[in-house]
Structure 1
Amino acid sequence: MKPFICGLDAALRLIGGKWKPLILFFLARQPMRYGELKRSIEGVSDKMLIQQLKEMEYHGLVSRTDHGEVPPRVDYALTPLGKSLSQTLVPLCEWGEQHQGAIADALADPA
């Protein structure tokens, strides 16, 4: 039995969910400290962001640099694998920008 149905299945196993694509999007711009990343991703809880970052680090998409300072200073950045994956999201981001109105209408509450 094959481990994945197709390449899309393989990719979605790494970035499935609401927050991981957004983490990739913001870290593709530049490495960020935890607080910066949290402020950039509106609505994510600390627990969820920490969990998602740990998973992405485990899967080799994100690197974590602890500078061993007090107060703690930790930076997150994309690994080469994470950078290559983030580039695949660029067309999806562009599509979303171009169709925001239609997407809002499609997601509007029909009641």
Structure 2
Amino acid sequence: MTDVHAVCLALPGAALTFPFGEETAVFKVGGKVFAITAAESPTHVTLKAEPEEVTGLVETYESVTRGYHMNKKHWITVQVDGALPPGLVEELVEDSYDLVVDNLPARDRP
């Protein structure tokens, strides 16, 4: 099973915040959210994704659904129970991070 918190915090400039309370871990870069998960023993993570990739991911993997309580066009929720191919969760976290960083002003990029 992937340690989502470790993957997120390993990215340059990533910060762990708790704007929704102690139970929800929100990872940000440059003040913008790139991942949301449970603070303790996460079973899933909500990530930003390219709109054209969202549908393909949802149709290909049972463990990927449209973002829970998020814009269904831009966010996905990924189960981190080991059902996805090795490395895919890490890749999706990195893709989410990259999408956010690419939209930051140059002065705010890590």
Tell me which protein shows more strand as a share of its residues: 2
Tell me which protein shows more helix as a share of its residues: 1
Does TM, scored on the shorter chain, surpass 0.5?
A: no
Rg comparison, structure with higher value: 1
TM-score bracket for the superposition, by shorter chain length: under 0.3
TM-score, normalised by the number of residues in structure 2? 0.27
